[in-house]
Amino acid sequence: MVEFIKAAEKDIPLFQQLAEKSWNAAYRNILPQDQIDYMLKEMYSHQEISDQLKNPNYHYYFILNNGSAAGFIGFEFHYEKDTAKLHRIYLLEEFKGKGLGKKAINFLKEKVAETSDRRIILNVNKDNPAKKIYESQGFSVFAEGIFDIGNGYVMDDYLMEYRF
């Protein structure tokens, strides 16, 4: 059984553990290890996640599979006019290929449909195979971008959208 459990400040250490495991598996053949380490440090610091959890439009949920933490999803309503943003969706390697990613995207669509937002956007690394999953769920590329993230690193991404 798949469940989505709303996260709280006390859950930050678990997010950090899940992020480290899932990122190292997902990006080991895409990004150099020093960039992965840098991005984890910047994007998953206790302060960064704490600040996001304090934003009433930003939501984190754990993805549980039969009671085990399989991953997480983080999204923000009203990121832009009429637009929600999927900031993060990560699964541990052992839970991939079981339909959890698709269930998480459907969960996101249901949550966004309850708001005035009519579009969901996301960034995905150009070499990330997850792009195919997003496409299978109705997302399409609307732009490309290279984003400076500091320390000499960039993110080379597709920008994708889903419209209601």
Residues 5-40: pLDDT tens digits?
999 999 999 999 999 999 999 999 999 999 999 999
Q: Check residue 154 and give its pLDDT.
A: 97
Q: Check residue 96 and give its pLDDT.
A: 95
Rounded to two decimals, what is the model's pTM? 0.95
Residue in the structure block whose two tokens are 């895409």: 30
Start-to-end CA span in the chain (Å): 27
Superfamily of domain 2-117: Gcn5-related N-acetyltransferase (GNAT) (3.40.630.30)
Would you list the domain boundaries of the chain? Answer: 2-117
3-state secondary structure of 90: strand
Q: Check residue 14 and give its pLDDT.
A: 96
Q: Which residues contact 7 (CB under 8 A, 6 or more apart)?
A: 15, 53, 60, 61, 62, 72
Q: Check residue 108 and give its pLDDT.
A: 99
CA separation (Å) from 22 to 68, 79, 88, 125?
15, 25, 11, 15
Average pLDDT value for residue range 130-153: 98
Distance CA 60, CA 69 (A): 13
Distance CA 76, CA 121 (A): 10
Residue type, 123: N
Residue 126: band (very low, low, confident or very high) from pLDDT cuts 50, 70, 90: very high
Return the closest-CA partner of residue 74 out of 155, 11, 164, 143.
11
Q: Check residue 86 and give its pLDDT.
A: 99
Residue pair 8/53 in contact (Cβ under 8 Å)? The answer is yes
Segment 65-117, tens digit of pLDDT: 999 999 999 999 999 999 999 999 999 999 999 999 999 999 999 999 999 99
Average pLDDT value for residue range 50-64: 98
Average pLDDT value for residue range 126-143: 97
